Amino acid sequence: MPESTKSVSKHEDPSVTKQWDDSASTDQKFQDAFDITDKLKICMFGSARSGIGPVSRAMAVAKRSGPDFLFLANGNSQKFDDLESNLSLCQIAFHDSTSQNWVCISGEAVKTSNDDPRIKEVYNPSVKAWFGDLGDGTHDGGPEDPRVKLIEVRAKYISYWKSSVSADGYKKEIDEATKSGGVANTGTLRQMKEDEISKYRSKNSSLTS
């Protein structure tokens, strides 16, 4: 039997046309997304490195306010070179391996400062373990250590997937779709674009940069 030469466009492909859920309200979309991020706390923080491309590392969220995130980091780390040379472009991603829920946030590091008063607001004693005390009376890993910088990430695009089935249900969906040729339905995929995020920020973010 000759192979079909007819291509399938993205407007005809069921795995694409049924991909996004646009039925939820704005408040519901953000609530579901941040239920995931706030539970996890640790994300992969990605920056764009000149001559290489995306580079990621695990980081703890110091604070989330609305659609924006604060991090504390060592100003001597290479991520700051990345952010400075590539227009502060960054991406943060959360993944829950128990449920397979994930959230990916593309945005901009609008502030990278070691004199921001919010450093003291979000600092906690465990941060010191990642800096160490150099014994010179200045670089002690505390909130006034000049190495301690605050990174503020403002979201510009958010996508996330929320599971709607149990682990057994997930396996059943995959098995049935594999046998039938259908598309597995294991959860909800949603996105929030910049205009929607900006409106949500105006009502829900207390960050002041």
Tens of pLDDT, residues 112-130: 899 999 999 999 999 999 9
The token duo for 198 is 């900006």
The token duo for 123 is 């600092």
Report the DSSP beta bridge partners of residue 152: 70, 111
Report whether pLDDT(171) > 80. no
Taking only the tens place, the pLDDT of each residue in 2-53 is 555 577 676 667 666 666 888 899 999 999 999 999 999 999 999 999 999 9
Listed by start position, the domains of the chain span 24-204
pLDDT at 126: 94
| CA-to-CA separations, 28 to 22, 31, 63, 160, 192, in angstroms, rounded | 11, 5, 21, 12, 11
What are the percentages of helix, strand and coil residues in the chain, rounded to 5? 30, 35, 35
Q: In percent, how much of the chain has pLDDT > 90? A: 70
- Rounded Cα distance, 177 and 86, in Å: 42
pLDDT at 10: 67
Q: Looking at residues 87-107, what average pLDDT do you find? A: 94
- Rounded Cα distance, 160 and 168, in Å: 22
Q: Architecture of domain 24-204 in CATH? A: Roll (2.30)
Taking only the tens place, the pLDDT of each residue in 158-168 is 999 998 776 77
- Rounded Cα distance, 172 and 186, in Å: 9
Q: In percent, how much of the chain has pLDDT > 70? A: 89
Q: Looking at residues 97-117, what average pLDDT do you find? A: 93
Q: Looking at residues 148-176, what average pLDDT do you find? A: 86
Report whether pLDDT(93) > 80. yes
Q: Dump the DSSP string for 48-97.
A: EETTTEEEEEEEE-SEEETTEEEEEEETTSHHHHHHHHTTTEEEEEEE-T
pLDDT at 172: 77
Report whether pLDDT(69) > 90. yes
Q: Looking at residues 97-110, what average pLDDT do you find? A: 94
pLDDT at 87: 82
pLDDT at 17: 60
More confident residue, 141 or 3: 141
